[in-house]
Amino acid sequence: MPIAFADRLNNVETSAIRELFKLLGKPGIISFAGGFPDSALFDVDGIRIAANAALTHEPGAALQYGATEGYQPLREEIARFMGNKGCTDLAPEQLIVTTGSQQALDLLGKTLISPGDKVIVEGPTFLATIQCFKLYGAELISAPVDGDGVQTDALERLIEEHHPKFVYLIPTFGNPSGALLPEERRRKVLAMAVKHQTLIVEDDPYGDLYFDAPPPPSLLALSASVPGSRELLVHCGSLSKVLSPGLRVGWMVGPAELLSKATMCKQFSDAHTSTFAQATAAHYLKSGRMQGTLERVRKVYAERARAMGEALRRELGAAVEFVQPAGGLFIWARLTGQTGLLTDGAELAKRAIENNVAFVPGAPFYASNPDLSTLRLSFATVGLDKIEEGIQRLGASLQQA
């Protein structure tokens, strides 16, 4: 029998990227295609100690069903962690724990989006956000991004034109753009939220991964000084990029009524996030090891980002343009077509795979009007030597007739 699937599945296409990822198992390939942290940097000892502490001190709680809102000691630790980043007024009850920040996106979709509702995202934005919201029937509108993140004037015009259900932004070292929204633009975003009474979602999985100086305060931190904006702001955080994606521990801060509805939806999505993972994360945060872990990973990613930027300038020269990222996992580059070379990112990706180097072409990251000349290159999981070698191969792929 052919199964009759739900209509909502017609809203998403099988990703072109998935086909690419099937090729990544090829031996000898250097991959800049991933979107994940380097597992060699995981604080395995610290996580082991935390997991054992959870099983020793609270085996019942760590292994039993738990509150849908999240394990209370973890909510307290997350509030403290956020407090150290400038959100000093956050109570544990103002956040819920989610199964990775991907689930926060899913709960936003489930809670807020009726089919046909409009949502503004950045162009480009996180691929799984596009697909997640589309499954709930959202019509996505892309706000243009430059090297400083979303262009606030254009964003405001789109809000005025479309009255979106909400605006979804990754203001800090966004995936894929790597861009950092300056404080001035952040304040403009909060001001327009209040002016137009528009809900803003700040997705912030990368903010802790800065290289030299900390980024400007998050929208959440800034909202304390913009009257009326906190009640129009959702903030999603995650331990995935800084500690371990395998724990699947994220969180969502938001207006009380929204959190209440999201909690109800979460109850019927997965009941609660693994209490074992939550108790482990709580003990880890409590142990005080996070600061050291962050300093260590920032240093490694900073070196790799620098090496990749230098190699790109050396090997590809004027054929690419990009803003050197100040944090995160990605360099977002555009093929300029200078000296008559290729400008199609997807075509370059195919050639590159043949030359044993992989990256993700940028087009799928756009909800509409893709810039076909873009590329996303992750430096996070590749050692310095291999970055050199991989970018050389990329340069050779571009030069190839």
We find the least distance from the C-beta atom of residue 28 to a copy of itself, in angstroms, to be 20
Shortest Cβ 3–a copy of itself spacing (Å):
6
Token pair for 120 = 């503004």
Instruction: Name which of 100, 101, 93, 127 is nearest 254 in CA terms.
Output: 93
Q: Out of 128, 224, 341, 396, which residue is the one contacting a copy of itself (CB under 8 A)?
A: 128
Using CB under 8 A as the binding rule, whether residue 199 contacts a copy of itself is answered as yes
Which of 17, 20, 87, 112 lies at the binding interface for a copy of itself (CB under 8 A)? 112
- Contact predicate 229/195, CB 8 Å: no
Range in contact with a copy of itself (rule: CB under 8 A) among 47-55, 77-85, 173-181, 302-310: 47-55
**301 versus 322: smaller Cβ distance to a copy of itself:** 301
Nearer CB in complex with a copy of itself: 264/372: 264
Tell me which residues in 276-295 interact with a copy of itself (CB under 8 A): 276-277, 279-280
Number of residues that bind a copy of itself (CB under 8 A): 76
Query: CA 319, CA 312: separation in Å to the nearest integer?
Result: 9
Residue 118 to residue 164: CA distance in whole angstroms: 5
Smallest separation (angstroms) from a copy of itself to the CB of 180: 24
Sole binder of a copy of itself in the list 5, 213, 291, 340 (CB under 8 A):
5
Nearer to a copy of itself, 117 or 344 (CB): 117
Q: Which of residues 353-392 bind a copy of itself (CB under 8 A)?
A: none
Site string for a copy of itself, 213-252 (x = CB under 8 A): ------------------xx-------x---xxxxx----
CB of 204 to a copy of itself, least distance (A): 17
Q: Is 36 in the site for a copy of itself (CB under 8 A)?
A: yes
Residue 98 or 374 with smaller CB distance to a copy of itself: 98
As a whole number of Å, the CA-based R_g of the chain is 21
Shortest Å distance, C-beta 396 to a copy of itself: 30
**Residues in 249-268 at the binding interface with a copy of itself, rule: CB under 8 A:** 255, 257-258, 261, 264-265, 267-268
Single out the residue of 31, 275, 355, 373 in contact with a copy of itself (rule: CB under 8 A). Answer: 275
Q: Minimum Å distance from CB 148 to a copy of itself? A: 28
Is residue 273 within the footprint of a copy of itself (CB under 8 A)? Answer: yes
Minimum CB distance to a copy of itself smaller for 37 or for 370 = 37
For a copy of itself, the binding residue among 271, 317, 318, 338 (CB under 8 A) is 271
Given candidates 75, 165, 186, 376, which one binds a copy of itself under the rule CB under 8 A? 165
d(CA 331, CA 173) in angstroms, rounded, equals 10
Piece of the chain touching a copy of itself by CB under 8 A; list 23-31, 103-111, 292-300, 327-335: 103-111
Instruction: Please report whether residue 12 would count as binding a copy of itself according to CB under 8 A.
Output: yes
* Of positions 69, 77, 106, 208, contacts a copy of itself by CB under 8 A: 106
**Burial of 183 by CB count in 10 Å (0-12 exposed, 13-18 middle, 19+ buried)?**
exposed
Q: Does residue 263 contact residue 252 with C-beta atoms inside 8 Å?
A: no
Q: For every residue of the chain, which 3-state class applies, written as one string?
A: CCCCCCHHHHHCCCCHHHHHHHHHHCCCCEECCCCCCCHHHCCHHHHHHHHHHHHHHCHHHHHCCCCCCCCHHHHHHHHHHHHCCCCCCCCHHHEEEEEHHHHHHHHHHHHHCCCCCEEEEEECCCHHHHHHHHHCCCEEEEEEEECCEECHHHHHHHHHHHCCCEEEECCECCCCCCCECCHHHHHHHHHHHHHHCCEEEEECCCCCCECCCCCCCCHHHHHCCCCCCHHHEEEEEECCCCCCHHHCEEEEECCHHHHHHHHHHHHCCCCCCCHHHHHHHHHHHHHCCHHHHHHHHHHHHHHHHHHHHHHHHHHHHHHEEECCCCECCEEEEEECCHHHCCCCHHHHHHHHHHCCEECEECHHHCCCCCCCCEEEEECCCCCHHHHHHHHHHHHHHHHCC
Residues 54-93, one symbol each (x = binds a copy of itself by CB under 8 A, - = not), give -x---xxxxxxxx---------------------------
Q: Which is nearer to a copy of itself, 113 or 360 (CB)?
A: 113
